[in-house]
Amino acid sequence: MANDVLVVAEHLKGELGEITFELLGIGKTLAAALGGQCVVALIGGNDGMVTALGAAERVVRVDGEGLSDFDPDSHGDALLAVYEAVDPRVVLVGYTSMGMDLASNLATRAGVPHAASCIALVEAGENIHATAQLYGGKLNVTSDLGGGRCVASVLAGSGAVEAGKAEGAPATESVAAPAGRGRVRFKRLIEPEAGDVDITAKEVLVAIGRGIGSKDDIEVAEELAEELDGAVAGSRPLIDSGWLPKTRQVGKSGLKVSPKLYLALGVSGAPEHIEGMKSSATIVAVNTDKQAPIFNYAHYGLVEDLFDVCEELTEAIQEKKG
Amino acid sequence: MKIVVLMKRVPDLVEDLEVDGSGKALATEHLKLTVNEFDDHALEEGLLLKETSGGELTVVALDAADVDKMLFTALAKGADRVLKITGAANVEGNTGLAAVFEEVLSAQEHDLILTGVQAADDRDGQLGPIVAALLDVPCVEVVTQVEVGEPGEGMVTVHKEYSGGVVAELEISLPAVLGIQAARQSPRYAPVSKVRQIQQSATIETLAGAGESSGAAAGGGSGFSVVEMTAPETGAGAQMLAGVDELMAVLEAKGVV
Ligand SMILES: Cc1cc2nc3c(=O)[nH]c(=O)nc-3n(C[C@H](O)[C@H](O)[C@H](O)COP(=O)(O)OP(=O)(O)OC[C@H]3O[C@@H](n4cnc5c(N)ncnc54)[C@H](O)[C@@H]3O)c2cc1C
Ligand SMILES: Nc1ncnc2c1ncn2[C@@H]1O[C@H](COP(=O)(O)O)[C@@H](O)[C@H]1O
């Protein structure tokens, strides 16, 4: 077993995802601490991606028919082939939609443990310690992954993108693509429907969560957003319930926003929501639960009923405007 | 089509959660559990599939506190069978559990195994993909829509969500495991009266899981140990405001109003 760290690159529509650079930053630090190299697994990528992966010491590519688009089965088989060729100490995968398909699959087939949803990985003597978020962000758990091989999947936003960005010409090598098993077939990508408000372009967002309680009550947030010259955005459950269109979803599977003001009303602050809004300039959270994780990311907090705050704030702004 | 849905109960995230005296685990006194919300979505999607394409839906759960109520509720919603695995209470970690599920599922006819996309109470791997790898069937996570192909084709077409609302359409040969993020519609509600009625008439099938004797239980731990569990310091970085007046002052200072 070498002391290398293998970072699994992720790409969509021909471009590397930001998570790849976050993982590279974390991977480089970890590899240095372990006395190994930081190696990237690039499956179905292109030459441009290799240049962008200059922060890595080596890039191991797998190319072949049907690999340029992601499907869990053939990418899983390809990753296992890279793993066997590199024989790394640690594999870093994004805890993303693609990464969730790969991490436990690899760990199980390689017979090594997988620590999911990590926010930090450090070397501790011979061992590696991983901190993960549990219970919707209410508790953190640090585990000792031991001194052997392991897979860790990392939440987006846990590392700095810049730390993994460098142009260069890393050493590349190829691993032959395993024969396709054809069990999963990529058909097409479906883009979200446009036409609604673009929440990524708004300076002020009034973000509502399940605390709003019912569809009819969204009106009060709409009114406040209008006074603030902003738009209403929301957490996933509201979109899944059909209370808000998909175009308003902030988070892991929604949009990434960074407005001047993000006013979160009745949003608990689950890691998947935080991923989409933590870079907002000013975050204000209103929640009746003082333990709500959103307060760990907010700049200002109010432990109050969102309806009281909404009403009073709307009135105060109207009064100010005269 | 034989559909199997795996369901579990998890701590209710809206409640106060505290670390116990050991500093390594959740305090379980006064702990309120609820059905993992993604499992409810998995059940809903399974029921919709059964309604449109026919077949049989079985819910499988490990024996645990109040699991009967969850299973009777699933029957009230339209599940055909419910199966409770006993004797696996000491199995540790998702790797160990997956081996138990693999054994049980191998003995059950299954075309489609649905799980919730995640459960917020453990971080040692993901159960669905581990079970799939053990059964050597494909697995797709973060699924929001499932459509069954023509009879005899033995496949489903699913939507898998990426960020930014982009969705991939994938065709998957059965049998397969799918991690459901959200069903096509909000999970249905089962009236309490109906659940009570079912409770009188229906039975929960029980099956002895691998238990202590099996290798899965013995060596199936995740392979790592907890160093510590901590609550992030709530509001560490946030300035707590006393009311809307103070909030107005902040918004004025930031030039938003
Ligand atoms: C793969 C994956 C992707 C995901 N992607 C996303 C995503 O893109 N975006 C996203 O948001 N989520 C996403 N999620 C879901 C995420 O895990 C959470 O379930 C979700 O963010 C919770 O939404 P919420 O905060 O609105 O609801 P809850 O967690 O239910 O929180 C509601 C909050 O409202 C508070 N409240 C209740 N009543 C009031 C009141 N009257 N006044 C003030 N406060 C009140 C409660 O205290 C609570 O904190 C994803 C999950 C997975 C597994
Ligand atoms: N003990 C269990 N009993 C039944 N289903 C489970 C259990 N653990 C996990 N699952 C299923 O696997 C999914 C993912 O769980 P996890 O891998 O723990 O995040 C859950 O949503 C359930 O559908």
Residue pLDDT, tens place only, B52-75: 999 999 999 999 989 999 999 999
Beta strands in A71-174 (DSSP E): 90-94, 114-124, 127-134, 139-144, 150-154, 171-174
Going by alpha carbons, the residue nearest to atom 23 of ligand 1 is A235
Residues A164 and A211 in one domain: no
| Closest approach of A173 to chain B, Cα-based (Å) | 28
| A38 within domain boundaries | yes
Residue pLDDT, tens place only, A125-149: 999 999 999 999 999 999 999 999 9
Q: Of the candidates A164, A167, A148, A121, which has an alpha carbon nearest to the alpha carbon of residue A28?
A: A164
Q: Which of A12, A105, A320 sits opposite B129 (nearest CB)?
A: A105
Contact B13 A301 (CB under 8 A): no
State the CATH number of the domain containing residue A311: 3.40.50.1220
- pLDDT for B223 equals 67
What token pair was written down for A42? 């690039």
Is A144 in contact with B230 (Cβ distance < 8 A)? no
Adjacency order of strands within the sheet including A150-154: A171-174, A58-62, A38-43, A5-8, A90-94, A150-154, A114-124, A127-134, A139-144, B225-230
Which of B140, B239, B248 lies closest to A316 in CB terms?
B248
Q: How far apart are CA A50 and CA A40, in angstroms?
A: 9
B51: closest CA among B168, B161, B184, B143?
A: B184
Q: How many Å apart are CA B48 and CA A137, to the nearest integer?
A: 32
Q: What residues are paired with A290 via a beta bridge? A: none
**Alpha-carbon gap: A152 to the closest alpha carbon of chain B (Å):** 9
The pLDDT score that the predictor gives to residue B123 is 84
* Nearest chain B CA: its distance from A38 CA (Å): 23
- CB distance from A140 to chain B under 8 Å? yes
Residues 6+ apart with CB under 8 A from B166: A12, A189, A190, A191, A192
| CATH number, residue A80 | 3.40.50.620
Pair (A44, A83) in one structural domain: yes
Q: Which helix (H) or strand (E) holds B87?
A: none
**Which range of residues forms the domain containing residue A141?**
5-174
CB within 8 Å: B129 and A185: no
Question: Which chain A residue has its CA at the smallest distance from B186's CA?
Answer: A241
At B90, the pLDDT band (50, 70, 90 cuts) reads confident
> What does the pLDDT read at residue B214?
42
Give pTM, 2 decimals: 0.95
pLDDT tens track for B7-54: 999 999 988 899 999 999 999 888 999 999 999 999 999 999 999 999
**Is the same domain home to A160 and A206?**
no
Instruction: Tell me which chain B residue has its CA closest to the CA of residue A299.
Output: B238
Parallel, antiparallel or unpaired: strands B33-35 and B9-11: antiparallel
Q: Is residue A110 part of a domain?
A: yes
Sign, CA torsion A109/A111/A113/A119? negative
CA distance A150 to A108: 11
Beta pairing, strands A58-62 & B225-230: unpaired
Q: What's the pLDDT score for residue B217? A: 35
- The partner residue sitting opposite A143, judged by closest CB among B117, B224, B236, is B224
Render pLDDT for B180-219 as a digit per residue (tens, 0 to 9).
999 999 999 999 999 999 999 999 999 987 654 444 333 3
pLDDT tens over chain A, length 322 residues? 689 999 999 999 999 999 999 999 999 999 999 999 999 999 999 999 999 999 999 999 999 988 999 999 999 999 999 999 999 999 999 999 999 999 999 999 999 999 999 999 999 999 999 999 999 999 999 999 999 999 999 999 999 999 999 988 999 999 999 999 999 999 999 998 877 899 999 999 999 999 999 999 999 999 999 999 999 999 999 999 999 999 999 999 999 999 999 999 999 999 999 999 999 999 999 999 999 999 999 999 999 999 999 999 999 999 999 8
Per the CB < 8 A criterion, the answer to whether A212 and A306 are in contact is: yes
Which of A12, A106, A114, A257 would you mutate first to test chain B, the one with the most B CBs within 10 A? A114
Q: Are residues A169 and A208 in the same domain?
A: no
Q: Which residues does ligand 2 sit against, CB inside 6 Å?
A: B 6-8, 36, 38-39, 42, 61-62, 94, 97, 115-116, 118-119, 122, 126-128
Is A275 inside any structural domain?
Answer: yes
B6 CA → ligand 2 middle, Å: 6
Which tens digit of pLDDT belongs to each residue from B101-133? 999 999 999 999 999 999 988 888 899 999 999
* Residue A225 domain-assigned (yes or no): yes
Domains: count for chain A: 2
B120 - beta bridge partners?
Answer: none
N-term to C-term CA, chain B: 58
* Homologous superfamily, domain B2-253: HUPs (3.40.50.620)
Question: CB-hemisphere CA count at 13 Å for A156?
Answer: 25
User: Any idea of the CA torsion for B158, B162, B165, B168, to the nearest 10 degrees?
Assistant: -40
A63 lines ligand 1 (CB under 6 A): no
Chain B touched by A115 (CB under 8 Å): yes
CB contact burial A108-144 (16+ within 10 A = b; e otherwise): bbbebbbbbbbbbbebeeebbbbbbbbbbbbbbbbbb
Q: Is residue A87 part of a domain?
A: yes
pLDDT number for residue A161: 96
- Domain match, A136 and A33 both: yes
pLDDT tens by residue, B141-194 = 999 999 998 888 899 999 999 998 899 999 999 999 999 999 999 999 999 999
First to last CA, chain A: 71
Greater confidence, B92 or B175? B175
The rounded Cα A125 to chain-centroid distance in angstroms is: 29
The verdict on residue A121 lying in a domain is yes
Query: If contacts are CB pairs under 8 Å, which of residues 57-76 in chain A contact chain B?
Result: 69-73
Beta carbons of A166 and A130 less than 8 angstroms apart:
no
**Using alpha carbons only, what angle is made at residue B162 by residues B156 and B166, rounded to the nearest 5 degrees?**
90
Helices (H), chain A: 18-34, 47-52, 72-86, 97-110, 218-227, 236-240, 271-277, 306-321
- If asked whether residues A105 and A203 sit together in one domain, one would say no
Q: In terms of domains, do A31 and A158 share one? A: yes
For chain B, domain boundaries: 2-253
List the single best residue of B13, B34, B145 to mutate versus A (max A Cβ within 10 A): B13
Is A234 within 8 Å of A221 (Cβ atoms)? no
